[in-house]
Amino acid sequence: EKPYEHEAAVARTLELMAGDTPAIFEAAFEAHGIRIRVDILERLEEGWGFREVKSSTSASEEKGHVDDVAVQLYVLQGAGVDITSVELIHVNNTYRLESGGVVWPEMLIRRDLTLEANDRLSQVADKVPKLFEVLALDEAPEVYATKSLCAKPYRCDYFDHCMAAKPQDWTGLLYRIHPNRLAALHAQGIESIPDIPEDFKLPEKQALALDCLASGEIWVSEDLADALDALRPSAYYMDFETMAPGIPAYVGTRPYETAPFQFSVHYIDEDGVLTHTAYLAEGDVHPGREFAEELIAAIDQTDLPVVVYNESFELGVLGALCEMFPDLAEDLGAIMKNVVDLLPVVRDHVCHPGFITKRSLDAGTYSIKNVLPALVPSMNYADLDGVAEGGEASRVFAAIVHSVYTGREADDYRQQLLDYCEQDTLAMVEIQKALWALCGSAHASA
C-alpha cells in the first residue's frame, strides 16, 4: 500500500494477521489517535513480537530508541495486539564481510527491550494528551530554535522553517557562541548581532564578528601575509571523499568502516598555471591501495605544500592508509609532512560579514561552503548540478557500489561526484587567491 493509504494498510495488516503469515513488514495500526507503521511484526507461538530496526550500532537512549519502541507499543496495545516481545534490531559493528556475501544473522543484533518498553509506557500515556493539546492550538507554540538544539541528535527537518523568522544577522550565527550566552541575549530581547550592547561580554572572535558586521567591512589581520607565506606557488590542493556504509561494501570490512573512494588534486605552478588530477574508484574491490598509489603519483613533488581545508580529516585518512599498506607508508608520510591547513588561516586572519549572515547549519562557521561565496562571489556550491555535499557524495557512491544505481544513472552520478570533489580543491585555490588579494599580494592574480 502507498504510505498515505493508511486505512487500506490497516485492513491489509489485519488480514495478514488473521492468516498464517510468519512476519509482516510495515504493519499499520491506529489507536489513541496515533498512526504507526511497525518495521516487523513477528508471529510467535504466544502473541506477537514487535521488531524495530535501526541503522545504529547500539540501543541508544540518547537517540530516543526506547521512547520510539514505547510509543509504538502503546499504540499496539491500544489496538488490541498481544505483544509478548519487543526487540531492537541494530547493526553489529564487529562483523566483517566475507566473500560469500552478507550473513544477516551475524551482521544484525537483536536486543530485547521488552522490559524497558513496558516500563516507559506510563510516561508515554502521560505525555500523549499533552501533545494533542499542542496540536489543538490555533498557532504553533514558540520554540527558541538554535543550531545546537536543532541539530542533536539529528538535524531537525524544520530547521529552515524555524530560521525563516530570525533576522539575517541573528545572534546565533556568532562563531561558536555558547548556548548560555545566546539564551541571555534572547532573554533581553536581543536577536540581531548589531544590537548586542557594548558591555555584553563576548570572546574575542565573537566580539570581532560583532564589529565586522556592524561596520559592514572585512577585517584582515596584520599577519595574514605571513600566514600565507607557506602557501605560495608552486603548491598542491588536495581533497578526499570517503564512505562508511552500514552494509559493508568490500570483503574484510566492517559496518561503518571508512573507505576512501575519491580524491581531487589541483596543482598550481610558479606561473599560476593550474592542472587537475582526479581519482574515483570503480569495481567491488576495496579501493584503498589504488587510491593511495594514484595519490602518490598525483603528488609527485615531495618538497611542495599540500593545501587542505581542515587537515584532521585528510591526515586521518592518510594515517589509516599507512597502517593498511606499510610499503606505501614512506611516500604517504611525505605527503602528510607537507600538509598545510587553509582553514585556520581563514579563521584566525579574516572576518567577513558574509560569514555570518546566511541561515544554515554552516552559517557562522568557517566551513568551506560558508567561506567560499563570501570571499569568492563567483563560486558557490549551490551552482553544482546534483551532488553538492560530502555526506551526499558518500551515500551516492555507496549506492553505486551496491548496484542501486547502474548504467547511465550510475554514470551521471559518477560525473556529479567528480564535479563536486573538483569544486572542493578549486575552491581552495580561489579562496587562497582572495586571501592574497586582501593582503595585496601579487599572487592574487596568479
What is the rounded average pLDDT for all residues in the chain? 91
Cβ neighbours for 410, distance < 8 A, ≥ 6 positions apart:
400
- Give me the number of domains the chain comprises: 3
Count of CB atoms within 10 A of residue 25's CB? Answer: 12
pLDDT given for residue 442 in this prediction: 47
- Same-domain status, 168 and 307: no
- Same-domain status, 155 and 286: no
Give the helix ranges, DSSP H, for 21-146.
65-78, 104-107, 114-135
- Same-domain status, 182 and 283: no
CA distance 30 to 164: 34
- Same-domain status, 411 and 279: yes
233: amino acid identity, one letter: P
In a domain, 218, yes or no: no
Q: How far is CA 200 from CA 34, 188, 193, 351, 371, in A?
A: 47, 11, 11, 20, 27
Phi, psi of 192, rounded to the nearest 5 degrees: -100, 140
- Same-domain status, 12 and 131: yes
In a domain, 125, yes or no: yes
Q: What is the pTM of this model?
A: 0.84
Residue where one domain finishes, among candidates 85, 103, 136:
136
Grid cell 581531487 — which residue? 264
pLDDT digits (tens, 9 = 90+) for 386-411: 999 999 999 999 999 999 999 999 99
In terms of pLDDT, which residue wins out, 68 or 63? 68
- Same-domain status, 286 and 392: yes
pLDDT given for residue 177 in this prediction: 86
pLDDT digits (tens, 9 = 90+) for 4-20: 689 999 999 999 999 99
- Same-domain status, 189 and 238: no
Residue where one domain finishes, among candidates 104, 136, 168:
136
What's the CATH number where 329 sits?
Answer: 3.30.420
Residue where one domain finishes, among candidates 117, 136, 155:
136
Run of H or E residues at 183: helix 179-187
pLDDT given for residue 60 in this prediction: 79
Q: Which of 28-37, 40-49, 146-155, 174-183 has the lowest mean pLDDT?
A: 146-155
Domain that holds residue 23: 5-136
CA distance 442 to 241: 32
Please choose, from the candidates 37, 16, 15, the residue with its C-alpha nearest in 3D space to the C-alpha of residue 27.
37
Residue 343, Cα to own-chain centre: how many angstroms? Answer: 19
In a domain, 205, yes or no: no
Average pLDDT over residues 318-343: 97
In a domain, 206, yes or no: no
- Same-domain status, 19 and 156: no
In a domain, 204, yes or no: no
What is the DSSP code (8-state) at residue 180?
Answer: H
- In 332-421, DSSP assigns E strands to 339-341, 350-351
Answer yes or no: is pLDDT of 211 > 70: yes
In a domain, 141, yes or no: no
CB 230 within 8 A of CB 340: yes
Answer yes or no: is pLDDT of 315 > 60: yes
- Same-domain status, 230 and 107: no
Answer yes or no: is pLDDT of 376 > 70: yes
pLDDT band at 243; cut points 50, 70, 90: very high
Average pLDDT over residues 245-264: 95
pLDDT given for residue 359 in this prediction: 53
Cell of 304: 611542495
- Same-domain status, 121 and 180: no
CA distance 209 to 255: 42
- Same-domain status, 410 and 311: yes
Answer yes or no: is pLDDT of 353 > 60: yes
Cell of 442: 601579487
CA contacts within 13 A on the Cβ side of 420: 24
Share of the chain above pLDDT 90, in %: 71
Long-range contacts of 18-21 (CB under 8 A, 24+ apart): none
pLDDT digits (tens, 9 = 90+) for 120-170: 999 999 999 999 999 999 998 887 888 778 877 788 888 888 888 888 888
CA contacts within 13 A on the Cβ side of 280: 20
CA distance 193 to 97: 52
pLDDT digits (tens, 9 = 90+) for 359-374: 555 566 888 988 999 9
Cβ neighbours for 281, distance < 8 A, ≥ 6 positions apart:
261, 262, 287, 290, 291, 397
In a domain, 214, yes or no: no
In a domain, 269, yes or no: yes
- Same-domain status, 272 and 355: yes
68: amino acid identity, one letter: D
